[in-house]
Amino acid sequence: MALRQSTRRDRPEVSVPVTGLVKGRAAGTAATVGLAALGLAGCVTVNAPDKPIVIELNVNIRQEVIYRLAADAGDTIEENADIF
């Protein structure tokens, strides 16, 4: 039961496309409230696959970090041509 509840609360954030995480969170909260308002019958219909979770991990990595590391990563690939 506890697992179901957490699923219901978390999934709307996770399953929303990467482009609008903040928006997605707000929408997710709204969706949760909406679902709760509908009553107890058949709330758990959001069955997102595992895939979006992987993407969500990456969302935490900011573009500026990637830009800072880009040159070094490029060199690393050239210097380790056997494994790239």
Partner 1 sequence: MGLTMTKTKTILAGAAFALVLGGLAAPALAQRDPAYAAARAAGQVGEKMDGYLGIVGAETPALRRIVDDINIKRRAVYSQRAQANNATLEEYALTAGCQAIAATVAGEKYQAPDGSWQTRTAAAPLRDSRCP
How many residues lie near partner 1 (CB under 8 A)? 26
Rule CB under 8 A: say whether 80 interacts with partner 1: yes
- How many residues can be counted in the chain? 84
Q: Which two tokens stand for residue 80?
A: 């380790």
**Contact, 42 vs 30, CB < 8 A?**
no
Alpha-carbon dihedral sign for residues 33, 39, 40, 42: negative
Of 25-44, which residues contact partner 1 (CB under 8 A)? none
Residue 63 sits in the site that holds partner 1 (CB under 8 A): yes
Kindly list the residues in this chain that would bind partner 1 in the complex (CB under 8 A).
18, 51, 54-55, 57-58, 61-63, 65-70, 72-74, 76-77, 79-84
